[in-house]
């Protein structure tokens, strides 16, 4: 059942933007709510998706594994974002895996419920807006990978994979090195400098952003 607080948060969910209150309530009345206290798979790459998940609070990690077994984190979805909607509506297998991180609440919307309660014009517009945002993010990441120095890339990825409400990430230094495209030793030096400057704190398997404004400033320097 949708809590009133959840309903308020979902009023601006990407997929439901512009839907009138009554059809939105009717849709959400059919959507089960799930809360996870530890990391839990929601969608698995290559398997079918019968519906999509809207993030009420917390984070959902989206990852992809290539045929050689190389894994990459593509994005971390936060409140209001949706995952699995393209696969659910196109009846195609999941292009990536989606995992609810600890302390995350999501609602599950079946494709049938979406088509029944969301007017086609609004659904198409919202889907197009979501895909546009993803294209813009992909363009930015390609530019970062090709033109930005390692120091900026580290800051940009730390900012991308954390939020003000969830300032910590469990990205390993080895994985950051893979994302950034440099040696682990160089990433260690960059993280060490950020820690000395009070921008981040580092604990076992965790990097915590302490000063996001300065992190963004470093990323844009």
Parse the chain into domains and list their residue ranges: 4-142, 149-220
Mean pLDDT of 79-83: 95
Instruction: Give the pLDDT band (50/70/90) at residue 142.
Output: confident
pLDDT digits (tens, 9 = 90+) for 30-59: 999 999 999 999 999 999 999 999 999 999
Contact (CB, 8 A) for 87 and 48:
yes
Mean pLDDT of 55-69: 93
Q: What pLDDT, on the 0 to 100 scale, is given for residue 7?
A: 60
What is the rounded distance in angstroms from the CA atom of residue 191 to the CA atom of residue 202?
8
Mean pLDDT of 196-211: 93
Q: Is the pLDDT of residue 28 over 80?
A: yes
Higher pLDDT residue, 125 or 179? Answer: 125
Mean pLDDT of the chain: 91
Contact (CB, 8 A) for 34 and 98:
no
Q: 149-220: same fold as 4-142?
A: no
Q: Residues with Cβ < 8 Å from 2, sequence gap 6 or more?
A: 10, 28, 29, 31, 33, 107
Q: What pLDDT, on the 0 to 100 scale, is given for residue 5?
A: 55
Q: Is 198 helix (H, G, I), strand (E, B) or coil?
A: coil
CATH placement of domain 4-142: 2.60.120.10
Higher pLDDT residue, 10 or 135? Answer: 135
Q: Is 219 helix (H, G, I), strand (E, B) or coil?
A: helix
pLDDT > 70: percent of the chain: 95
Domain 149-220 CATH assignment equals 3.90.600.10: no
pLDDT digits (tens, 9 = 90+) for 82-105: 999 999 999 999 999 999 999 999
Instruction: Residue 49: count other Cβ atoms within 10 Å of its Cβ.
Output: 24
């Amino acid at each position: 059942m949708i809590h009133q607080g959840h309903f308020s948060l979902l009023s601006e969910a990407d997929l439901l933007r512009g839907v009138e209150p009554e059809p939105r309530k009717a849709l959400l009345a059919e959507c089960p709510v799930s809360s996870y206290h530890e990391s839990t798979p929601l969608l698995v790459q290559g398997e079918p998706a019968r519906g999509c998940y809207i993030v009420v609070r917390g984070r959902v990690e989206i990852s992809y594994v290539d045929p050689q077994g190389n894994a990459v984190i593509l994005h971390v979805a936060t409140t209001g974002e949706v995952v699995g909607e393209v696969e659910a509506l196109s009846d195609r297998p999941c292009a990536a895996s989606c995992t609810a991180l600890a302390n995350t609440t999501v609602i599950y919307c079946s494709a049938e419920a979406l088509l029944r309660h969301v007017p086609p014009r609004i659904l198409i517009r919202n889907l197009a807006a979501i895909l546009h945002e993803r294209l813009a993010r992909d363009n930015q990441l390609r530019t970062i990978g090709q033109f930005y120095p390692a120091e900026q890339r580290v800051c940009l990825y730390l900012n991308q994979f954390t939020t003000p409400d969830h300032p910590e990430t469990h990205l390993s230094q080895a994985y950051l090195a893979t994302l950034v495209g440099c040696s682990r030793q160089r990433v260690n030096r960059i993280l060490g400098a950020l820690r000395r400057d009070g921008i981040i704190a580092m604990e076992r398997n965790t990097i915590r952003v302490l000063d996001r404004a300065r992190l963004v400033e470093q990323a844009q320097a």
